[in-house]
Chains A and B, each alone.
Chain A
């Protein structure tokens, strides 16, 4: 594998991790806001 390909191979995982972090956080805060609006507990 070329140096560029190896670099992409190593660094793509932190990027995917950041994307998953965004998705999970967005889901959490949406549910939190909805629970507050409805006067319910989050869990």
Chain B
């Protein structure tokens, strides 16, 4: 199958498609445009968005072009279980954040960013860490999506990579700039309809066009025993396990998720996140199946570049009309994430830099905030376009940011439940976790027996922390302790002595364990108690005009910000109990 001739669009067709897509989304955004935009609505849409738009936006934002390419690559590399080990754990990132999301919204119902909340909780250093990691993560994501657009356009049209990057960047900026988050979430609905509709059609069409189901028998010899097994240990250790470790890290550290968490009507957090979990998982795993099909038929992407796999499969087996649908699917995926990144970046500069650090909450001018937000979008777009030309290793950058977020998970979550966590404990634990992560992830220290054992022990504790936190979100403290301890006891005999050989996985796990142990140890003896009601008082609207936008909040909002007994309740698990 090597060297198949792929179909291409003419210059006129590709320009027409881009004008249709970005022109259409721009027209939609003008429908909600206001002469006097509200600064808070520009960041969170008024904290009262309904289920349809929220679920669509969460789904569209979490699906980026790279997730489709990577899922197919996983299917092509690891066989039939590969897409599961990419898409399922990615989907669970959305699911596992929702119980924490409910708690975050209850203590900070009108916040704009998690960093803003951390400033109230701990002060400047924790805010800086969270906001800094958010900025780096969003810039990488933005750059990655522009690169994906440039590659796609250069592959399917006479235009080159640079022209493709500029076209996508200009298109996204065009419809996001004026109305910000409101434009992002509204156009997300259109984009998710296009994406989900395309997958529902394209996957079955390629399945039959490529000679399946008969090819499952004729092409079985192309798979190794591991690739043909649904329970492949290779796929789990290299793809699945590092993603499980990253589940909470990406969900906590990503401002695009936090922004939607603060935007959705409080009573709709659960259905929104559950629907997005299923939507993301099914779509990404479905596209990943194209990689499995390619493996069965012996399809070889041009130059061995697996990023060409999906576009070339589509170009080979789809009719021109369906190739247009495929093109819109990828452009929709990358645009919906890119516009979310622009909104995330603008809200951080508006809230965390201008609103809190420069002007101060009382003196912040909403008009100036809006101007800063829009300038941020333009500058971020320019920076991402410039970075796209540097051909940086996106995977390495994402791994680094992922570890930073992993180091933040326990200190951030504990700060929302446990009154004892101090600023010093937060900062020290995160920095220490990063200091340990770097030599482990990049193998800077030769992995002799002693160092390897130390890493393995920390990583095993990390396994307990990850599974314990996941359990804590849904079931509370006692089940979390049981699961955490069980995870350590069960995994230790298998992991100690060998886990350090998997640098990506053990690097993430030590980031979790070191930050958790240090944060707990430095906080448990603290006699001061933080009053969580302070967060609701100090994280409110910047713009008085928001009253016109925000409709009457539902009943769930009424209890927001009310301090809770230190012991917690059945419905609201309390991390503090685990430390007392």
A12 and B120 CA atoms in complex are apart in Å by 47
| Pairwise interchain contact B278-A10, C-beta atoms closer than 8 A | no
- Judged by a CB distance under 8 angstroms, whether A37 is at the interface is no
- Judged by a CB distance under 8 angstroms, whether B169 is at the interface is no
A7-B212, A13-B282 known; A43-B52 Cβ under 8 A: no
| Pairwise interchain contact B213-A14, C-beta atoms closer than 8 A | no
| Pairwise interchain contact A20-B275, C-beta atoms closer than 8 A | yes
| Pairwise interchain contact B289-A43, C-beta atoms closer than 8 A | no
A43 and B199 CA atoms in complex are apart in Å by 28
- Judged by a CB distance under 8 angstroms, whether B380 is at the interface is no
A32 and B413 CA atoms in complex are apart in Å by 35
Chain B residue total in the interface (Cβ 8 A): 45
A31 to nearest B CB, angstroms? Answer: 4
Q: Give chain B residues whose Cβ lies under 8 Å from the Cβ of A25.
A: 52, 193
A13-B282, A43-B45 known; A31-B213 Cβ under 8 A: no
| Pairwise interchain contact A7-B282, C-beta atoms closer than 8 A | no
Q: Give chain A residues whose Cβ lies under 8 Å from the Cβ of B289.
A: 10, 13
B92 to nearest A CB, angstroms? Answer: 15
Q: Choose from B185, B214, B230, B282 the contact partner of A17 (Cβ within 8 Å).
A: B282
Residue of A whose beta carbon sits closest to that of B214 = A3
| Residues of B1-38 whose CB lies within 8 A of A | 32
Per-residue contact bits, chain A 1-43, to B (CB 8 Å; 1 contact, 0 not): 1011011011101111110110111111111100000001111
Q: Choose from A4, A13, A27 the contact partner of B286 (Cβ within 8 Å).
A: A13
A16 to nearest B CB, angstroms? Answer: 4
| Pairwise interchain contact A3-B52, C-beta atoms closer than 8 A | no
Q: A15-B200, A32-B52 are in contact. List 11 more A-B contacts (CB 8 A).
A: A3-B216, A4-B213, A6-B80, A14-B203, A17-B199, A21-B192, A21-B200, A23-B275, A24-B189, A31-B51, A43-B49
Which residues of A are interface residues toward B (Cβ below 8 A)? 1, 3-4, 6-7, 9-11, 13-18, 20-21, 23-32, 40-43
Which residues of B are interface residues toward A (Cβ below 8 A)? 32, 41, 45-46, 49-53, 55-56, 59, 80, 182, 185-186, 189, 192-193, 196-197, 199-201, 203-204, 207, 212-214, 216-217, 230, 275, 278-279, 282-283, 285-286, 289, 292-293, 549, 551
30 chain-A/chain-B pairs, Cβ below 8 angstroms: A1-B230, A4-B213, A10-B207, A10-B289, A10-B292, A13-B203, A14-B204, A14-B282, A17-B279, A17-B283, A18-B196, A18-B200, A20-B196, A20-B282, A21-B197, A24-B52, A24-B55, A24-B59, A24-B196, A25-B52, A27-B51, A27-B55, A28-B189, A29-B52, A30-B52, A31-B52, A31-B53, A42-B186, A43-B49, A43-B182
